[in-house]
Amino acid sequence: MKRIAIINYGMGNLRSVENAVSRLGFKSEIITVPKELDNFDKIILPGVGSFKKAMELLKINQWIDIIKVNVLEKKKHLFGICLGMQLLASESEEFGVTKGLNLIEGKVKKLSDLGSDKKIPQIGWNSIFIKNKHKYLNGVPDKSDFYFVNSFVFVPENKDFIIAETDYGVKFCSAIAKDNIFGTQFHPEKSSNIGRRILQNFLNA
């Protein structure tokens, strides 16, 4: 069975992700030591909170290089959830410009700066509109609802990597995929059966 690592860098819904994976019949492990990543087949990068703080913690705890080696060189599948998806970007404008992991080129911007006049942060259920068919969205109907908690969103340079969008006063990328790298702005682990379907697709890939 494939070994699944959940990265604990200090900012994430670790147990809820672990429990969701377990309910699907897979065994995951929350890891705090970067070199242990070499022993796993798939990687989940969760996150809640500040992009700037998250990147500081990833740098201090020496996660950045080991993540890039495993994802870019060893081609292991990576799933970034919420803030974890935003960390895939080149940089974020939250609390000033902060460099990201740059696994998918693009910037993280505030919803209000993109034109949304709705209450920030977005908290609650919202629909996704599938833009490109992808194996991680197999069995997920268009306009399915997922649970969001976010003020910022990922704006990729290459729009072809957007596999789903969501409207919150402005359309934004809510799911992205490039090669072996995948991310959702929403929380699949908190999105009932339809969220578990996405997790299952990733774990089975």
Residues with a catalytic annotation lie at 82, 187, 189
Q: Which residues contact 31 (CB under 8 A, 6 or more apart)?
A: 5, 6, 7, 8, 37, 40
Query: Residue 190 has which token pair?
Result: 């908190």
For residue 77, the one-letter residue type is H
For tokens 């940089």, what's the residue?
91
44 touches 28 (CB < 8 A): yes
Q: What are phi and psi of 149, to 5 degrees?
A: -145, 100
Buried-exposed string 7-35: b where 16+ CB fall within 10 A, e elsewhere: bbbbbbbbeebbebbeeeebebeebeebe
